[in-house]
């Protein structure tokens, strides 16, 4: 084997190893992106639910008699609140706390803000992972073309 032939083989081997490492890193980025996408979807659902709850609290606070309350997936109930301007709000671990409509609305406003902040951060992270993956993919493609060009 001549000197040029050995150097070309060494270069090909090094390029192959680098491309394998890049492929592994791309798989890692893909897994991160999928997880972030799931997080974004969950946060979007939580945001929609919180906004829907805000609308329901507003409707209750303005209700003089019976009104329609959402129960979930296209299901509503017509009811008259037993206590005017009082709601039961989940405090966590299944514990309910009685609050005024104003207090519940304030809690929901804070929740919406936190969810939107989390959603923004998750979307920024997803964009960054996507940018890194695209950059690495372009590098891998350029590297995989080098041996062909050298022939």
pLDDT (tens, 9 = 90+) of the chain, 151 residues, equals: 444 444 444 555 678 889 899 999 999 999 999 999 999 999 999 999 999 899 888 888 887 888 887 787 889 888 888 887 899 999 889 999 999 999 999 999 999 999 999 999 999 999 999 999 999 999 988 888 875 545 4
128's CB contacts (< 8 A; 6+ apart) are none
SS3 for 56-76 is HHHHHHHCCCCEEEEEECCEE
Whole-prediction pTM = 0.75
Q: Is residue 52 part of a domain?
A: yes
Strand runs labelled E in the chain: 67-72, 75-79, 86-92, 95-100
**Domain-located, residue 151:** no
pLDDT of 7 reads: 43
Residues spanned by the domain of 89 = 3-146
CATH of the domain at 80: 1.10.287.370
Report the pLDDT value the prediction gives residue 12, as an integer from 0 to 100.
53
pLDDT of residue 8: 46
- DSSP H/E element including 116: helix 101-150
State CA 68 to chain mean position distance.
32
Number of domains in the chain: 1
pLDDT of 147 reads 55
Tell me how far apart the alpha carbons of residues 83 and 70 are, in angstroms, rounded to a whole number: 18
- Asked if the structure places residue 99 within a domain, the reply is yes
């Amino acid at each position: 084997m001549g000197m040029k032939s050995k150097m070309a083989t060494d270069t090909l081997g090094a390029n192959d190893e680098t491309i394998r490492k890049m492929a592994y890193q791309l798989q890692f980025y893909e897994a991160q992106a999928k997880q972030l996408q799931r997080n974004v979807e969950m946060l979007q659902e939580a945001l929609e639910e919180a906004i829907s709850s805000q609308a329901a609290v507003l409707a209750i606070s303005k209700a003089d008699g019976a009104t329609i309350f959402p129960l979930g997936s296209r299901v509503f109930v017509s009811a008259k609140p037993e206590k005017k301007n009082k709601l039961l709000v989940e405090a966590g671990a299944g514990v309910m706390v009685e609050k005024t409509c104003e207090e519940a609305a304030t809690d929901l406003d804070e929740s919406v803000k936190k969810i939107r902040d989390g959603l923004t951060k998750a979307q920024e992270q997803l964009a960054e992972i996507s940018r890194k993956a695209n950059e690495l993919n372009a590098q891998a493609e350029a590297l995989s073309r080098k041996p062909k060009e050298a022939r």
